[in-house]
Structure 1
Amino acid sequence: MTNEKTKIAMEADLILENLTHTLLYEGYSLYPYYRSAVKNQKPIPFGVIFPKDYNAYHEHSHSKMQSQSIITGDNDLTVSVTVRFLHLRKTELFQKANNEKDNEDYIPVSNLDINGKFYNSGWQTVERKITTGDIGLTQLAKGGISIPIEFDNMNEGELILNEKNVVVAKSVSSISEITGSILISAESIIESTDSFRITVVVTNTTGLENANTISRDEAIMQSFLSTHIILQTLQGEFISQQDTPVKWTTATAGCTNINTWPIVIDKSNTTLLSSPIILYDHPEINPQSSGDLFDSTEIEEALLLHVNLLTEEDRNRIGTEDEKMNAMLKKVNGLTPEDLHQYHSMLKENKASQFNNE
């Protein structure tokens, strides 16, 4: 790989990581950030892939995502595919029925304050990432390949002690097993040599008991949340489906994308991101952004001011609910008045001729 291509690849990777991280957590937790707030009691609503068993009884709860795009290059054209999503982790909180007796009776509660530390029932998420190596497009055109998605269940508990080191409560965290597949295939574009229509289908095949009667919240425990598909190549480029050159309009018109929206990330069109959130090609994160606030469609200045108005008790409570929220609060706490002022107003040079007084 040439130095120029290496530089391009590194720049694309940085843009991709920042952008994908932001999209993965869009809507993860919204102001006032408490898990008890109604709008924060449901997991992320974007890019949910439900189990096929659940989809059989709920047709609008989709069990697959399909990204289809055009890639062109030379005889050595390869592509790597990455699928990223969030997996729900549920935490249940139980208070001991009688703290003065050595018994095993516990009562479910939504939250507790023990020695000034807050404990909450609710949900958090675990990031999942599956990446293929480089796959030759000629190979894919001869027959698709299937990559398994397999993550085991997990259950772990924690005893909660008071200031006298007596057990007063316990929390139980659980992750449900999920399985699925990533089917990758390609077909040659007849109108052009060394060009292909590549298809990536992500399906949730998790077995689900009583799929006809369980609630949506129960099904989400075994769903892929905020699912994103990433394709990268070094030898070729992806054809934009928003600003398509005339030569490729017929080919791109034949692409079918299901529950996702493909965009090219870098100026060289070597990276394609399929997201459940609609974006334009070549998106950028505002360099002024202070970091995760989990609501990129909101005015960041307003959110920062709202967070700064939270009481110390509020901050402690929110920070103990989730490590991601705690990291966000630390970033906001570190902002200076000068940092906040730059959000309020900014002068930019406008080079448009109609605004010049000549």
Structure 2
Amino acid sequence: MTVTAFAPETEARFDLARQVADAVLFEGYVLYPYRASAAKNRLRWQFGVLVPPAWGAECEEHDFQHTECLMEPKAGATLSVELRFLHARRRTVERVRPDGGFETVRELQLDDRVLVPWDEGAEERVEVVAAVDDLLGDGITVPFGRPAREDVAPVLDAAGRTVGRTVRRSEEISGAVRLSAREIDGPYRALRLTAVVENTTPWTPPEGHGADRDAALPYSLVASHLLMALSAGSFLSMTDPPEWAKGAVATCRNLHTWPVLAGEPGRGDLVLSSPIILEDHPAIAPESPGALYDSLEIDEILALRTAALTDQEKREARGTDERAAAVIDLADSMPAEVLERLHGAVRSLREVTGGASTAEPAAEGFPDEHGVPRPDTPWWDPASEAGFDPAQDRVVVDGRSLGAGSRVLLRPGLRRSDAQDLFLQGRSAKVEAVLHDVDGGVHLAVTVEGDPGADIRREQGRFLYFQPDEVTPLEDEA
């Protein structure tokens, strides 16, 4: 049996995951400086755009998303699925003519904003609830559609007089959600869940229209993604599965989307399948004051830059979109203490418990001999640096003493490597200094032999850094 209404408990779980899903839904919706005239706001809708099939055949964009993940449902479990996407609607601006009629204009000047044509995004949801047993075999297909609409709203000036109107048009779209499941081989009963979202809109590009993506967007599913929840049982992590499931996870096909565990850490009954690759249990930073629609940026920078816009630029932003107007109001009204929270947060620190008892409770401060912070000292004592000299200190690696001037072969560790380190594998380098951090770690500052910018790096102190187990000593230094 298939229904389209969530139980209250499922709705509550989805509410928590929607905080992150909203960031996916509106990523890139409107970018700083939040004005339609900005060049980067003229090419929008970059993530999860499912175009009509006829358009997808002519371009490199897709008309479907394909998700596969593993789940361990309990007997009688149901699967709740929510498809979320934006439906683009074209807004045109009209001005009152002297004869009382209306004419389309490129902008309409008002006291507090400048109205301009714009593509708005209306949030859409498709909800499906099905028994897991019904998904076995061929599974189920749930078609959906949205009709074409036209909404007209008057535009009033400060005195309450009608000076124009906005006309919003959305086109008819249709699609389907296909759900199926089958058992996998393994020591435990697990199912491979397949969830496919398709745009089935029968729109074709107008004759001679050419490759105009702008014409296809009103018929597309924009920023589409899925939330999926089990009433009983759990999903397996696709990035860190148990050993027995790694082979089955490797055979899962995920096209144009990626599933991660969502909701509260420690729970596995909820999945977010997103066109933006995330880690398991993604969460919105608690310091974030609100949506800035630029989720890959830094809130502090965006808030400061937005507050620094001129009054005319803010008028244009307010007339671009209601969400852009909300960002302007947020930046203008943000208290100093809220802005200060955006400057940075340390999440890696945790209270030290267990081990030998101490006379003092764990608190912020420099660690004692048991590793417990002492409340009477700061976490870092500048005086503790007195015994260190990067130019003279040495460290023993493979029985060899290394210091400034030593030659080494670079062997970047897999756990600490970034893309740049991969190009340095096997290169020879010169040690410029031996450095110690406040946690007792040792780091080698090096310059790569043959690097034409090595002298500049030494002059500016901009070295590459490796840990002792990431290098192999070469012959003694001169």
Pairing partner for 2:186 from 184, 191, 213:
191
When structure 1 is superposed on structure 2, of 327-336 and 224-233 the one drifting more is 327-336
Shift of 1:349: 7.4
Which deviations, in whole Å up to 9, do the C-alpha atoms of 1:252-304 show, x marking residues without a partner?
11210110011111421111111010111111211100110111211211111
Counterpart CA distance in 2 for 1:41 and 1:308 is 22
Residue 248 (structure 2) pairs with residue 251 (structure 1):
yes
**Residue 120 (structure 1) aligned with residue 116 (structure 2):** yes
Pairing partner for 1:209 from 204, 220, 225: 204
Alpha carbons of 1:334 and 1:205: their partners in 2 closer, same or farther (altered >3 Å)?
same
Query: Amino acid of the residue matched to residue 74 of structure 1?
Result: K
Which AA in structure 1 matches 2:332? Answer: N
Cα distance between partner residues in 1 of 2:166 and 2:8: 47
Q: Note if 1:66 corresponds to 2:35.
A: no
Pairing 1:130-169 to 2, within 5 Å after superposition: 130-133=126-129, 135-160=130-155, 169=164
Provide the residue aligned with 1:336 in structure 2.
335
Q: Distance in 2 between matches of 1:219 and 1:95?
A: 27
Gap runs ≥5 in structure 2: 1-6, 353-370, 372-436, 441-478
Counterpart in the other structure of 1:270:
269
Question: Structure 2 length normalisation: TM-score?
Answer: 0.66
Distance 2:171 2:44 in 1: 15
Aligned-partner SS, 1:57: coil
Instruction: Tell me if structure 2 keeps the 8 A contact 1:79–1:231.
Output: yes
Higher relative contact order (CA 8 A, sep 6+): 1
Question: Cα deviation per residue 1:97-152 (whole Å; 9 max; x = unaligned)?
Answer: xx44x27573x43212045542111111100001112x222221143111112101
- Match of 2:219, SS state, is coil
Q: 1:345 to 1:53 in 2, by over 3 A?
A: closer
Structure 1 contact 57–211 (Cα < 8 Å) conserved: no
What is the CA deviation profile of residues 59-115 of structure 1, one whole-angstrom value per residue up to 9, with x for unaligned ones?
x1200001111101322232111100001011112446xx44x27573x43212045
Distance (Å, rounded) in 2 between the aligned partners of 1:136 and 1:142: 13
Q: Letter of the 1:224 partner, please give it.
A: L
What's the offset of the Cα at 1:314? 3.0
Question: Is residue 225 of structure 1 aligned with residue 226 of structure 2?
Answer: no
2:58 maps to 1:57:
yes
- Please, what TM-score do these two structures have when normalized by structure 1? 0.87
Tell me which residue corresponds to 1:260.
257
Could you say what secondary structure the match of 2:267 adopts?
coil
Q: 2:102–2:164: 8 Å Cα contact kept in structure 1? A: no
Query: Does the CA contact (< 8 Å) of 1:261 and 1:276 recur in 2?
Result: yes
Indicate if the aligned counterparts of 1:117 and 1:320 stay in contact, CA closer than 8 A: yes
Using a 3 Å threshold, how does the CA distance of structure 1 residues 57 and 75 change in structure 2: closer, same or farther? same
Secondary structure at the residue paired with 1:21?
Answer: helix
Secondary structure at the counterpart of residue 197 of structure 2: strand
Amino acid across the alignment from 1:69: C
Distance 2:348 2:225 in 1: 36
The aligned length equals: 346
> 1: distance between equivalents of 2:322 and 2:235?
37
Distance 1:64 1:158 in 2: 34
| Equivalent position amino acid for 1:281 in 2 | D
Question: Does the Cα contact within 8 Å between 1:239 and 1:269 map onto a contact in 2?
Answer: yes
What letter corresponds to residue 171 of structure 1 in structure 2? T
**CA pair 209-73 structure 1, distance change in 2 beyond 3 A:** closer
Distance 2:227 2:329 in 1: 31
Which letter does structure 1 place at the counterpart of 2:62?
Answer: H
Q: 2:166 aligns with which of 156, 171, 183?
A: 171
Q: Which amino acid aligns with 1:247?
A: W
**Cα shift at 1:239:** 0.9
> Which region of structure 1 is more displaced relative to structure 2, 147-156 or 113-122?
113-122
CA distance in 2, matches of 1:168, 1:310: 27
Supply the RMSD in Å over aligned alpha carbons. 2.8
The answer to whether the Cα contact below 8 Å between 2:170 and 2:218 also exists between their aligned partners in 1 is yes
- Name the structure 1 match of 2:458: none
Q: Which residue of 2 aligns with 1:45?
A: 46
Match of 2:79 in 1: 79
Partner of 2:232, secondary structure, is coil
Change beyond 3 A, Cα 1:281–1:212:
farther
Q: 1:211 to 1:198 in 2, by over 3 A?
A: farther
Give CA-to-partner distance per residue, 1:22-55, whole Å, 9 cap, x none: 1111111111100111111233210000011112
In structure 1, give the amino acid aligned to 2:18: E
Contact 1:54 1:211 in 2 (8 A): no
CA distance in structure 1 between the partners assigned to 2:175 and 2:324 by the alignment: 30
Give the Cα–Cα distance (whole angstroms) in 2 for the partners of residues 272 and 319 of structure 1. 36
From the superposition, tell whether residues 184 and 94 of structure 1 become closer, same or farther in structure 2 (CA, over 3 Å): same
> Could you say if the C-alpha distance between residues 347 and 263 of structure 1 is closer, same or farther in structure 2, counting changes exceeding 3 Å?
closer
- How many angstroms does 1:160 deviate by? 4.6
